[in-house]
Amino acid sequence: MEDMNGKVALVTGASSGIGRATAELFAEKGASVVVAARREEELKDLVESIETAGGKATAVKTDVSKAEDVRRMVEHAIESFGRLDFAVNNAGIEGPVSSLVDLAEDDWDRVLDINLKGNYLCIKYEAEAMLNAGNGGSIVNGGSVNSFLGFAGGAAYVASKHGQVGLTTSASAEFGPRGIRVNIVCPGFVKTPMHQRIRGVLGNELFEMVLANSVHLQRAGEPEEIARTIAFLCSEDASYITGQTLTPDGGFTLTV
């Protein structure tokens, strides 16, 4: 396991699912972790759990769709641990499953504000801090297989996730010359609260059919498996990888 001692990692959407697993993994590897999300109780619980296991963590209540929150989040990271090496922009919502014809403008705005504008705001302030420090860094955005696939009823989510790919490649091109790598992780089905909510809307039967017939590994992923993909992208093993999408999906997107 790569030693991340002395490094500082920031994870958004850390209060549950993939974000929580990622924060725990970084802490296990020795990094000091800044956990950000909107729900303070869950963040407090995560910090306690990391500290009990011997790790270092601090929480900062953040709504990633608000510029002032995101600016303060990065400021909090620097004030708490003195530097920022890894930033995982994982916060996201699925939004309603709705026909485009019926999709409310407010729902479109909410999904795009959190998933896409939130990702832009995070990169803006994280990259600024990394550039000021001059130590390089690694930014990993939380995409989805819906960053390149679409589905009926998911237009806002799909559009936001596609947009994150453009943000990733643009940021990679801009910050690569200064030693900051920017990549996007695009998971398939992962067992998280979001997965449970979508199952609730689309039905267990449909999910089980898709998992059995369209996922080569015939199962949903664990949040820890996505966390390890993210940690790989932050590690020295990925030192020549930037601007890329990495797709831990059990083979889902390769099935026609």
Ligand X SMILES: NC(=O)c1ccc[n+]([C@@H]2O[C@H](COP(=O)([O-])OP(=O)(O)OC[C@H]3O[C@@H](n4cnc5c(N)ncnc54)[C@H](O)[C@@H]3O)[C@@H](O)[C@H]2O)c1
State yes or no: residue 63 binds ligand X (CB under 6 A).
yes
State yes or no: residue 199 binds ligand X (CB under 6 A).
no
Q: Looking at beta carbons, which residue is closest to ligand X? A: 17
Q: Around Cβ 165, how many Cβ atoms within 10 Å?
A: 18
Report, in Å, the least distance between residue 198 CB and ligand X.
7
Helices vs strands, H then E, count in the chain: 9, 7
Tokens for 149, please give them.
């696939």
State yes or no: residue 219 binds ligand X (CB under 6 A).
no
- CA 109, CA 106: separation in Å to the nearest integer? 5
- CA 210, CA 204: separation in Å to the nearest integer? 10
Q: Is 157 a catalytic residue?
A: yes
Report, in Å, the least distance between residue 130 CB and ligand X.
20
- CA 35, CA 48: separation in Å to the nearest integer? 12
Q: Which of 9, 19, 23, 234 binds ligand X (CB under 6 A)?
A: 19
Binding segment toward ligand X, per CB under 6 A, in 91-99, 126-134, 175-183, 235-243:
91-99
36: β partners: 12, 60
State yes or no: residue 93 binds ligand X (CB under 6 A).
yes
State yes or no: residue 114 binds ligand X (CB under 6 A).
yes
State yes or no: residue 250 binds ligand X (CB under 6 A).
no
Binding segment toward ligand X, per CB under 6 A, in 74-82, 90-98, 202-210, 232-240:
90-98
State yes or no: residue 233 binds ligand X (CB under 6 A).
no
State yes or no: residue 229 binds ligand X (CB under 6 A).
no
The residue count for binding ligand X (CB under 6 A) is 29
Q: Which of 142, 154, 163, 250 binds ligand X (CB under 6 A)?
A: 142
State yes or no: residue 164 binds ligand X (CB under 6 A).
no
59 within 8 A of 27, measured Cβ to Cβ? no
- CA 127, CA 179: separation in Å to the nearest integer? 11
Q: Which of 7, 8, 13, 155 binds ligand X (CB under 6 A)?
A: 13
Closest-CA residue to 130 (of 170, 180, 69): 180
Binding segment toward ligand X, per CB under 6 A, in 7-15, 26-34, 47-55, 78-86:
7-15
83 within 8 A of 133, measured Cβ to Cβ? yes
DSSP letters along 8-77, please? EEEEESTTSHHHHHHHHHHHHTT-EEEEEES-HHHHHHHHHHHHHTT-EEEEEE--TT-HHHHHHHHHHH
State yes or no: residue 193 binds ligand X (CB under 6 A).
yes
- CA 97, CA 32: separation in Å to the nearest integer? 37
Q: Which of 9, 17, 76, 229 binds ligand X (CB under 6 A)?
A: 17
Residues of the shown chain interacting with ligand X in the complex, contacts defined by CB under 6 A:
12-13, 15-19, 37-39, 62-65, 90-93, 114, 118, 142, 144, 187, 189-190, 192-195
Residue numbers annotated as active site? 157
